[in-house]
Chains A and B, each alone.
Chain A
Amino acid sequence: MTVRTAEFLMAIVLSLCSIALMMKSAELNIGWIEGRGPGAGAWPFWLATGMLLCCLLTLWRWFRRVTPESRNTSLYMTHQTMVIVGTSAGAILFLLAATHWIGLYASLVFFLLFYLKYVGRHTWLLTIALTIGIPVFIFCLFEWALKIPLPKAITEPLFYPIYELMYS
């Protein structure tokens, strides 16, 4: 897909999103309510209308080849970019999905192992040191110092002895 095609498709997708936002806002009152002023949906409705107008203007400029992107016929995303960006995005996606199942700390271990050993090709010593050190630092800072509990899912019981040490 060329940058020119991507520019066109993006403007179409954003136009559709704007229309969806207008319709969603219109489920609320978008008119004037006596004694209460503009309805709850009025502000987002008119903002979404503005978004739609901007998309239409972008499409018109695309048609007239005004913007550099509308004249650019090189690839929007090369295979190499897809691999590089996809690896990072995929790793984060795994981290988030796994957090729901095995909790953040266990997911961090797998995430760091993958990133440091497979992507970074660091030594085992450094990989293991960071794979243990970073989650421990996050735990100490957030859970112990700031009292902000992070998600642990099924691994929660493993933390009970630490909680006892922390709160006894």
Chain B
Amino acid sequence: MGETLGLLAGGLAQAFEPVNFSMIIIGCVLGLLVGAMPGLGSVNGVAILLPITFLVPPTAAIIFLAAIYYGAMYGGAISSITLGIPGASTAVATVFDGRPLAQAGKADKALTAAAMASFIGGTISVVLFTLFAPPLAEFALKFGPAEEFALMLLAFATFIGLGGDDIPKTVFSILIGLVLATIGLDIISGQPRLIFFDVSGFLHGINFLVLAIGIYGIGEMLWTLEQTKGEVTVHNVKLSMKEIIKDIRDVKEYIGTTSLSSVLGYFVGTLPAAGATPASLMSYGLAKTFSKEPETFGKGNVSGVAAPEAANNAASTGSMLPMITLGIPGSPTTAILLGGMIIWGLRPGPLLFTEHPEFVWGLIGSLYVANLATLIINLMFIPVFVKILTLPFTILAPTIYILCVVGGYAPTQTMHDVWLMFLFGVVGYLLRKLNYPVAPAVLAIVLGPLAERSLRQSLLSSQGDPMIFLERPISLVCVLIAIALVLVPVFQKMG
């Protein structure tokens, strides 16, 4: 342990070297900007800026990319809270409560909670990484398809039974999200699936951002217009440092949820092929499950902002674990980082810890410094972000619509997706008027491909026997908890 701490201290010292520290600051700022743009996430930032890293030594390069990764994690929260459009997939869950808080004139509280929770998530994950990297890497490998599917069931269950929503409508919302995720080429046989009217645009599937931006960008704006009869109140918030300090002190309100979400986020991040998006969505569900006021979630509960933000930051550190120790990327962004490492001549795997400790611990140290830098940058800029909300609605609304259109276009660069986004926005608005919850559909379309693949692989390995989910201890526990989460509220309502 002493040796590990020594290496971590060395990594931290390395992160403060002038070149590396400048890389951290530039990376954080660029990440914030990329993450805040709808349709672009850390994966875009890392991919676009990867060639730049060949100009600096490998350690500085990975530090730069890791800082972009961290910055983007928080950047997504800025547009989620201020504009109601998830800047990145990892910030989808942040919209659920972040936007209602902003509409209630508490954007500063939501932004501070996001910054603080991200920092706590990052801190806890670095501690977990330092203490338990090798055993956790081994444990994560025990997660086969059956365990993965059971974990997905657990995530859906947290959305079904809680919050007082109409249960058949909630289940419908989850199922339609899962069906939308199946459109395109079948993940196993490669056959075209659900290609309506032979429209070729469906062949590449439906990106979850198309649904998320449609529902939370277009749909939300239409909903706001209806609720306010077109006369939206402008929140002319005048923020002083004193108020921000008060917001920081409010961390005690959500520290418990944040810590729990950080641990969950870190663990989900370590699972190969999972990553920060499922982690943030699952943490939101978990926060709702353990909350004393689950009915306030989705209406502006600050824990609903803190939980996903802590989890996505923790998961971004967690996803480094399988990448470094096993050479398996935990997310699309780490897949690009892995590619970079190979180009720089580093071979990921267990030997990396012994052959290139300066690289591994430099990365971990810089993750932590990037975390701190992002916190400071964010807290400094909160008054600027909040200022966005003081714009007249007739300027803010067309800006949001334009960002939705551009954000819907950017990932696949087809107008087909932009039309779909518009359709989802209008349909989402009409469904919302009839109390159909829309958040579960977004959760489902994100987790859908992972859930289907793990279900089919499990059934294939068991020759079609569904008992596989009950025979393996980890999946059995997850399935039992999922059943309890669904049944308990049903019986409570019947009682």
Contacts and interface: CB of A to CB of B under 8 A. Distances in A.
Interface of A: 3, 6-7, 10, 14, 21, 24-25, 28, 32, 36-41, 43-44, 47-48, 50-51, 54-55, 57-58, 61, 67-69, 76-77, 80-81, 84-85, 88-89, 91-93, 95-96, 99-100, 104, 108, 111-112, 115-116, 119-122, 130, 134, 138, 141-142, 146-151
B383 to A, nearest CB: 21
Give the one of A68, A81, A100 with max B CB within 10 A: A81
B354 interface: no
B40 A58 contact: no
A51 B186 contact: no
A146 B39 CA distance: 12
A104 B397 CA distance: 18
Interface residues of B, number: 59
A142 B402 CA distance: 13
Nearest to B228: A84
Residue with the highest number of chain A CB atoms closer than 10 Å, among B44, B175, B401: B175
B106 interface: no
A6 B395 contact: no
Contacts, number: 159
Contacts of A146: 40, 44, 48
B398 A147 contact: no
Contacts of B191: 28, 40
A44 B179 contact: yes
A54 B230 contact: no
B25 interface: no
B341 to A, nearest CB: 24
Given A38-B456, A43-B455, A50 B194 contact: no
Contacts of A100: 415
B171 A96 contact: no
A151 B415 contact: yes
A48 B402 contact: no
A21 B194 CA distance: 8
Contact of A37 (B410, B415, B431, B464): B464
Interface string B429-448: 11101110000000000000
B182 interface: yes
B473 interface: no
B188 A28 contact: no
Given A54-B168, A148-B413, A111 B222 contact: no
A84 B230 contact: yes
B422 A51 contact: no
A3 B434 contact: yes
Contact of A41 (B169, B193, B415): B193
Given A96-B405, A150-B406, A21 B179 contact: yes
B179 A37 contact: no
B474 interface: no
B394 A120 contact: yes
A72 to B, nearest CB: 10
